[in-house]
Amino acid sequence: MSEKTILVEPTSQDAIGLVAQLLAVHACEAVSQHGQFTLALAGGTTPRRLYEHLAKPPQVEAIPWQNAHIFFGDERDVPHDQPDSNFRMAQTSLLDFVPVRYENVHPMPADSTDLDQAARHYAALVAEIVPPGPRSVPSLDLILLGMGGDGHTASLFPGTPALEEQQKLVVAQYVPVLGRHRMTFTYPLLNAAKVVMFLITGLDKAEAVAQMLSDDPGEAQKLPAGRVQPTEGRLFYVLDAEAASRTHFKPARG
């Protein structure tokens, strides 16, 4: 069972600042231990402000981007130059501004005409670059995740088949609530990571956060995000006071 760390900051900007600091610590540790930092970025709107923060001094110098490999925990079924693309969001807020090598940025091909083959290829790419960890599954140094108000994370949505996938590392699926296809990491890949870090802010997430952090594991497990439990790695929840407002967790300061 993974070690769980819950960190509550007064504001979303404070939470972003803390995630940036934690990313730098784990990135430098990974590079000193095995010469590279394998990172999976989250999509959606919350991470954009984090990525913009990471792209500015002094944070931008704190992460060894030249030793980083960038993956995506999920992607929408749109070309990478479309506004909805998680890659596009990361590119315009972060990747265009840091010295990451072009060949080390690995967009997820969720707009492929053969999504199942594309998911297999992306899983093979991850396995080629990321050293194996628990149960010989590629163990990314850090996977950044968000959470929707319905408790989804990456593109693991409630009631979808990907929640039950225990062999494949990456799958594509139709998501009825969106009326679109998505490609996503599955629990085997998520739970093999050395560090999984959730960044969750805002009152609209408070109810799902309270359920995910419930003392009753049965309640937490009802949400896709609640089933992210690194086998041997560390699990961080970095929240702002609003997202934590339905829990007993309070900001450590401020």
Q: Which residues make up the interface to ligand 6PG (CB under 6 A)?
A: 42-46, 74, 86, 146-148, 152-154
Residue nearest to ligand 6PG (CB): 146
Rounded to the nearest 5 degrees, what angle is found at the Cα of 135, between the Cα atoms of 123 and 64? 60
Task: State the sign of the Cα–Cα–Cα–Cα dihedral 250, 226, 169, 133.
Answer: positive
Q: What whole-number distance in Å separates Cα of residue 203 and Cα of residue 136?
A: 39
Least CB distance to ligand 6PG at residue 47 (A): 6
Output 138 or 224, the one with its CB closest to ligand 6PG.
Answer: 224
Nearer to ligand 6PG, 42 or 118 (CB): 42
Q: How far is the CB of 45 from ligand 6PG (least distance, A)?
A: 3
Q: What is the DSSP string of 16-65?
A: HHHHHHHHHHHHHHHHHHHS-EEEEE--SSHHHHHHHHHTSTTHHHHS-G
Minimum separation from the CB atom of position 205 to ligand 6PG (A): 7
Identify the bridge partners of residue 195 per DSSP, sorted by sequence position. 234
- Residue with Cβ nearer ligand 6PG (8 or 209): 209
In the bound complex, what is the minimum distance in angstroms from residue 216's beta carbon to ligand 6PG?
24
Nearer to ligand 6PG, 54 or 67 (CB): 54
Nearer to ligand 6PG by Cβ, of 146 and 233: the residue is 146
For residue 45, the Cα-to-chain-centroid distance in whole angstroms is 13
DSSP H or E segment with residue 201: none
Q: What is the nearest approach in angstroms of ligand 6PG to the Cβ of residue 26?
A: 19
